[in-house]
Structure 1
Amino acid sequence: MGLAFAAAGWFQIGFALAVLVAPTRVWLWLAVAANLVFLTAWATSRTVGLPDWTGDGGTRQARSADILCVVFEVAIVVGAVALLVESRVLERWKSAAPAVAVAVAVGVLAGTTAVLVSPSTANHAHASGDEHAHPTTATAHGHDASDPSAATGHDHTESTITYDKLPAATKAEVDQVIALWANKYPTAADAASDGWFNPGRSLYGIGAHYVSTVGFSGAAAFDMLNPNILLFDGDGPDAKFAGLSYVVADVPEGFTGDYDAWHSHPSACFEGGRVSSLTEKNSAVWLSESECTARGGKVRPLENDQMMHLWIGPEYINRAPIFAHDHPDLYDGYNPKRDG
């Protein structure tokens, strides 16, 4: 899909140069055919969804950026057809092309700028992680270190899509996970009785991470129905199930579409044999590696692990983006900067 976007973009640039330098009927027919293909692909992705083999399956929400592209493409088709139907216009175009080009460029620049600064575009990530940070995409952000009450202080890919907004194909996969896990271990005690244990403590925004005593490996392949970690909302045995997490060595295809947001942390701080903090520089919440060692902790590297959270707990699923890194209901978890 990335190559397809690149090819489309380069074709549009080549077409623009061609019709300025030497406009011909051949170029106009190519423009009509190519842009009709682009428009059909866009309409399919926003209605029934592209097939999975494209690497970008599932339906998407139309946003201001892609709608503007569609408007430009429709304008190209209409303009090209008009020139083809009225050949005399094509002859006059050759002399008027520079002036028209300037006017069109100004209009495109103004429209594009307006879309790029709009909130919907700023919050939209489409990398290999909009809302599937294989790419993102996806959007990487760092929270303001001056505001620890609303910050995690680390950089990571993030998703903003909620469960109810997921496209049908992605929601169907999430529903499979929900059916298996959402009510399997209502409390931490239930998970512990089945061999899961917490190697750390309930942390700010991400809860307590329970792993299985059967074995834990970040090098394992992504298995949608078999997560590596269970997330609970506290340290005690009565802590409620909030969600789960996947840990793999490399960012996988994951769930259908580009909605799941994968992230990594450079390392973690262990104090007293338990994880007490992620380690991030200039964080309002987490310790840096030097701060960890100054407190007598040990730094364990994590940079080869890619993680993704899925908030499917009955009391958590509709209160935050389904693939969010942090859950706002868990900000009372341990914050080493705030809690000492």
Structure 2
Amino acid sequence: MSVEYVEGMGTHHVMLNDFSMEDPSFDAENPVFPGTTIDSVFEFERPEFLMYGGEEEDSELVGFAWFVHSPEDSPPEGFTGENDWWHRHEIMCFRPSDFVFRGEGLSDDVCEERGGENINLEEYWMVHAWIVRPWLTFDDVFTNHHPCLYEEGAETDPEAECWSESTEHVGHEI
């Protein structure tokens, strides 16, 4: 797991293979992620992240996310059409030993206090897709957050109010 459970987002799991931030050649200011699918190629059939509705082993797959290297002023070519809203997370703090997210936009001191190291991700773009039934968001499959992934966990009752809520774009800025 790269990102522990977050309200509206679930968890994010990435296949790291042999990649490690502890490798002496890793440069947090100009990062590359050898051995992973995190690169400059958008492959719709190979999302970089699988998102789950909890941290338990039997948690449901709820969505996908793609994370692609591209110049900071130009999101990658993604899906057909204009509906995939790419966004950036410019500075993220990860624990080097296992690449687990510790925070976003933190000072180096705060990141270090949390056991992490800041990574400059200004040239990486992300898009989410909620296309796994029953987690499909009909109004906008590319919305940033899912309304049924509450802070206390995933709401799986199809009669719950969150399932009828609109999931409009959250106004991502390029």
TM-score (norm 1): 0.35
Q: Are 1:255 and 2:58 counterparts?
A: no
The equivalent residue for 2:65 is 245
Q: Give 1:224's match in structure 2, choosing from 44, 47, 63.
A: 44
After superposition, the Cα gap between the structure-2 partners of 1:202 and 1:253, relative to the gap in structure 1 and judged at 3 Å, is same
The equivalent residue for 2:120 is 301
RMSD value over aligned CA atoms?
A: 2.6
The equivalent residue for 2:140 is 321
Q: Percent identity?
A: 32
Q: Which runs of 5 or more residues in structure 1 are unaligned?
A: 1-197, 281-286, 335-340
Superposition pairs for residues 10-49 of structure 1, below 5 Å? none
- Between Structure 1 and Structure 2, the one with more helix by share is 1
After superposition, the Cα gap between the structure-2 partners of 1:289 and 1:205, relative to the gap in structure 1 and judged at 3 Å, is farther
CA contact (8 A) 1:203 1:276 kept: no
Q: Which runs of 5 or more residues in structure 2 are unaligned?
A: 18-34, 154-174
Aligned partners of 1:292 and 1:319: how far apart in 2?
Answer: 37
Secondary structure at 2:41's aligned position in 1?
coil
Superposition pairs for residues 34-113 of structure 1, below 5 Å? none
Q: Are 1:211 and 2:35 counterparts?
A: no
Question: Shift of residue 316 of structure 1?
Answer: 1.3
- Between Structure 1 and Structure 2, the one with more strand by share is 2
Secondary structure at 1:235's aligned position in 2?
coil
Aligned partners of 1:320 and 1:242: how far apart in 2?
Answer: 16
Secondary structure at 1:270's aligned position in 2?
strand
Secondary structure at 1:201's aligned position in 2?
strand
Aligned partners of 1:331 and 1:315: how far apart in 2?
Answer: 16
Query: Which structure would you say has the larger Rg?
Result: 1
Aligned partners of 1:203 and 1:310: how far apart in 2?
Answer: 16
After superposition, the Cα gap between the structure-2 partners of 1:333 and 1:206, relative to the gap in structure 1 and judged at 3 Å, is farther
CA contact (8 A) 1:209 1:232 kept: yes
Aligned partners of 1:233 and 1:333: how far apart in 2?
Answer: 11
CA contact (8 A) 1:265 1:278 kept: no
Encode CA deviations 1:10-32: one digit per residue, 9 max, x unaligned.
Answer: xxxxxxxxxxxxxxxxxxxxxxx
Secondary structure at 1:212's aligned position in 2?
coil
After superposition, the Cα gap between the structure-2 partners of 1:207 and 1:241, relative to the gap in structure 1 and judged at 3 Å, is same
Structure with the bigger RCO (C-alpha within 8 Å, sep 6+) is 2
Letter of the structure 2 residue corresponding to residue 229 of structure 1: F
